[in-house]
Chain A
C-alpha cells in the first residue's frame, strides 16, 4: 500500500487560509469516507483534527475544515495562526482493511 500523496510543504501568512491536499486512489481516499487528518508539532504525538472527511473532534477549532472530491481529500485552515505551524498528515481506510497515511506536509506560518 503506497502512502497517500501530500505536498511536502505549504506556507501562509497569519490570517490567511491554506489548503493541504491528499491524493490517493479509488481503493482508499476515493472509495471510503474514512479520511482523517492529524496535526503534529515537533517532538509531540499526532493529534486528530478531522475525521470522516469533514468532522471535527470535540475541542478542535472550527478554523479547520475538511473535504473530499474523488480521490483527493483536502484540509483547509482559515485565519492562520502561529500555533498552526506543524506537520499535517492525512490518513484513509483502505480496501485491504488497513490504514494508510500520507507522507506529511510541513506548514510554515510566515
Chain B
C-alpha cells in the first residue's frame, strides 16, 4: 500500500521568504498522477499542481512543483500573506487515491 509522507509537519516562515515542502512516496509513482492542494480553514481544498509540475488554472507562478519517482517538492518562491495554509500531496493510483498527512505553513 502506497504511503505519502510529507515534511516538515509544520513550516514557520515570513512573508517574502521561500517555502519548500516535501512529499515522499513509499514506492515509485507516476509523476502524471501526483498533485498538490492548498486548504485554508473552513474551506474546501484547492488544486494547485497536477502532473507533479503543471499549475492549475489561475494559480500564481510563485507556486511550482517538481520531482519524480519517490520524491516530490512544492515550492512557493516568495510567500504572500494568503499562502499560509495547509498543503497536501495526493497520488491517484489504479484503484485508490492516497493523500499525504499535510504540511502546515504558518507565519513566523
Q: Do A and B come from one complex?
A: no
